[in-house]
Structure 1
Amino acid sequence: MTESKSMILGCAGKSLTREEISFYRGECPWGFILFARNVSEPEQIRDLVASMRDCIGRPDAPVFIDQEGGRVQRLRPPLAPDYPAGAALGALWRDDHDAGERAAWLLGRLHAFDLSRYDLSSDCLPVLDVPIEGASDVIGGRAYGKEPESVSRLGRAAASGLMAGGVLPVMKHIPGHGRAFADTHFELPTVDASLDTLRRHDFEPFRRLADLPAAMTAHVIFSAVDPKNPATTSGRVIEEVIRREIGFDGLLISDDTSMKALSGDFPTKAASILAAGCDLVLHCNGVFEEMAGIASRTKGLEGKALKRAERAMAVIGKRDEAKETDIREEFATYFEAVV
């Protein structure tokens, strides 16, 4: 078996082309990610996931998806119910802390049922960003709240629910996207807040959940730490803030390299991300030429990065004895529309 390379890749459609199969077989990405363009019906999803794993000869290769609820939810009815966004859980929490946290756990557990049904291994959740007034709506209602306490507690509950169902949670966007005044899909935002402010507000949920197994970076410049480079490609942010101050020693995945916030060609992006200290380069849009550029500068997964990946993988598949009907019925006592 070829050594896995430090990248997670998407694909263009609902089944793999011969070109993609040959490429994945030769380059051997560590994992894959699905988007709405890649899903249509249950057997198609399972077949696509199986073919991805077959390409690289790893039946346990992780396959990721963004399944938050609200507007960021790749599996839609009839594949999975429409679920409430993080802000709805936050509203419930403000009225009743215990109810909010229980609902967040139940929703995480339901996501795990849904993803496991299609042989998906990881959910890019919880969102631990803490938005401020006037910030870009790219986070908006995806956030659990506008204060670190609710975000931390609901994020913890959601991650616990996912792991109870044997699904790997990936917290995002470390060390915080809530203060960004631009959408990183299109441009690179700069945050000029002081380090003290960032510590109290933006970094705090990630610090509290630093024991989680995986995290995704923010394509955001924090001028108090590194005025030139976004967190994703900043050795200073990754080493001084994410690893040391926040204390996160789990698997660190870049946000999507096909977003416009990162400058340079794709080989340069991949090299910069790995040199800064990320463990894995993520590329989502399935554009073949871009993936080839990423692969050209991506190395084999080894050393600390490999150990972190192995620890993250250990979460996958370890399920509790919960019954799906019971979990759905209880969740319906909080959010009736998604039974």
Structure 2
Amino acid sequence: MRPLVLGFAGPELTPDEEALFGRFPPAGFILFDRNIGSPRQLRMLTDRLRALTGRPDVPILIDQEGGRVQRLGPPHWPEHPPARPFGELYREGPIAALDAARFHGRAIAADLAAAGINVDCLPVLDVRDPEGHDIIGDRSFDADPSAVASLGAALLTGLREEGVCGIVKHIPGHGRARADSHRELPVVNAPREDLARDFLPFLRLADAPMAMTAHVLYAALDEARCASLSPVVIGDVIRGELAFDGFLLCDDLAMKALTGPLQDRLEGVLAAGCDAALHCTGIFAENETLLSAAPVMAERSRERLEAAMNWAEVPAADMSAEEWARRRDDLLGLLAR
């Protein structure tokens, strides 16, 4: 198994992709709009990924947050709200907000599990900052780190209850960044003591099964390297101060916050301490380059991945389709007040 989670080109695997993934099995896969058609097609695709790898629990990831980051949507799947309304509700009634966030996680996970998707890149634990770039914006629950931590924990519980593994992101915090790491390298110049606000939600959820790193340079931690490439940030902060010992996945290698050849980026994130790297473009030649260059996944990383994939519970199937729909309508009405 190679320490890579990869995208691929379309709604079904090509013969070349099947041959490549059979020769160099990646740790997992990630799905995007280009891979998704109907519920039947999607389930056939996820079943094929399992059959190809011979791993019933192979991680199949998706970004299904709600709001503007939602790969499954109408007409086949319902729309889900973004994070921000949950934070607004939390200020009025914390108990109601936590119950709503937990159901939000369950509702999303139920859709994913039915499609054969077992990992969601959620919850977003970035603390909103008034001067931060809108790439986070309403994807963040709130500017209060305690609220973010509590709501994130409730959402993560909801995912778990419906059989889906969650990924907390973007550790150790993207909210303060004033640039979009998809386009350029964000540099955060806040002093070390101020970063405690950004760290707090990740510290509170240190027992999460998976986390995704931020391609953000924190000058007070490492003046030369972004978090994904920094042994200091990963070893001393993420694994040390924040006590995270789950499966650590770096954000997309193709993002413009990183520079240099893809294989050098992969080598850099693994050397820094990431368990695996995410690469999302789906371009065959890039996947081939990375898989050919990648080492076999380290034994400790394999153990972390196995533990993460065993973290989710078997869903209880305690609600009918009609009850799910009613609860979803109630949730949307509550958040719209």
Name the TM-score, length of structure 2 as normaliser. Answer: 0.96
- Pick from 78, 81, 85 the counterpart of residue 78 of structure 2: 81
Q: SS in structure 2 opposite 1:202?
A: helix
Tell me whether 1:249 sits opposite 2:217 in the alignment. Answer: no
Distance 1:317 1:301, change over 3 A: farther
Partner of 1:217: 213
> Any residues of structure 2 matched to 1:50-199 within 5 Å, and which?
50-199=47-196
More off after superposition, 88-97 vs 158-167: 88-97
Question: What is the identity, as a one-letter code, of the residue corresponding to 1:274?
Answer: L
Give the whole-Å Cα distance in 2 for the aligned partners of 1:40 and 1:177.
Answer: 32
Deviation at 1:36, TM superposition (A): 1.2
Give the whole-Å Cα distance in 1 for the aligned partners of 2:198 and 2:228.
Answer: 16
More off after superposition, 54-63 vs 215-224: 54-63
Deviation by residue 1:240-286 (Cα, 9 ceiling, x = unmatched): 10000011000000101111111111110111111100001111110
Q: SS in structure 2 opposite 1:322?
A: coil
Give the whole-Å Cα distance in 1 for the aligned partners of 2:66 and 2:319.
Answer: 21
Q: Could you tell me whether the CA contact under 8 Å between 1:269 and 1:294 is conserved in 2?
A: no
Question: What is the identity, as a one-letter code, of the residue corresponding to 2:63?
Answer: D
Partner of 1:299: 295
Tell me whether 1:269 sits opposite 2:269 in the alignment. Answer: no
Give the whole-Å Cα distance in 2 for the aligned partners of 1:324 and 1:80.
Answer: 16
Tell me whether 1:279 sits opposite 2:275 in the alignment. Answer: yes
More off after superposition, 10-19 vs 324-333: 324-333
Partner of 1:335: 332
Q: Could you tell me whether the CA contact under 8 Å between 2:128 and 2:141 is conserved in 1?
A: no
Q: Could you tell me whether the CA contact under 8 Å between 1:110 and 1:327 is conserved in 2?
A: yes
Deviation by residue 1:111-152 (Cα, 9 ceiling, x = unmatched): 111001101001100000012112111000000001101111
Deviation at 1:53, TM superposition (A): 2.2
Question: What is the identity, as a one-letter code, of the residue corresponding to 1:95?
Answer: E
Q: Could you tell me whether the CA contact under 8 Å between 2:166 and 2:209 is conserved in 1?
A: yes
Q: SS in structure 2 opposite 1:281?
A: strand
Deviation at 1:69, TM superposition (A): 0.4
Deviation at 1:45, TM superposition (A): 0.6
Give the whole-Å Cα distance in 2 for the aligned partners of 1:306 and 1:207.
Answer: 23
Runs of 5+ consecutive residues of structure 1 not aligned to the other structure: none
Tell me whether 1:10 sits opposite 2:12 in the alignment. Answer: no
Give the whole-Å Cα distance in 2 for the aligned partners of 1:60 and 1:130.
Answer: 32
Give the whole-Å Cα distance in 1 for the aligned partners of 2:333 and 2:320.
Answer: 16
Q: Could you tell me whether the CA contact under 8 Å between 2:161 and 2:312 is conserved in 1?
A: no
Q: Report the aligned-residue RMSD.
A: 1.5
Q: Could you tell me whether the CA contact under 8 Å between 1:106 and 1:327 is conserved in 2?
A: no
Runs of 5+ consecutive residues of structure 2 not aligned to the other structure: none
Name the TM-score, length of structure 1 as normaliser. Answer: 0.95
Distance 1:243 1:324, change over 3 A: farther
Deviation at 1:43, TM superposition (A): 1.2
Give the whole-Å Cα distance in 1 for the aligned partners of 2:327 and 2:115.
Answer: 23
* Identity, % of aligned positions: 43
Give the whole-Å Cα distance in 1 for the aligned partners of 2:149 and 2:85.
Answer: 15
Q: SS in structure 2 opposite 1:334?
A: helix
Deviation at 1:293, TM superposition (A): 2.4
More off after superposition, 256-265 vs 289-298: 289-298
Deviation by residue 1:83-125 (Cα, 9 ceiling, x = unmatched): 1100011111111111111110001000111001101001100
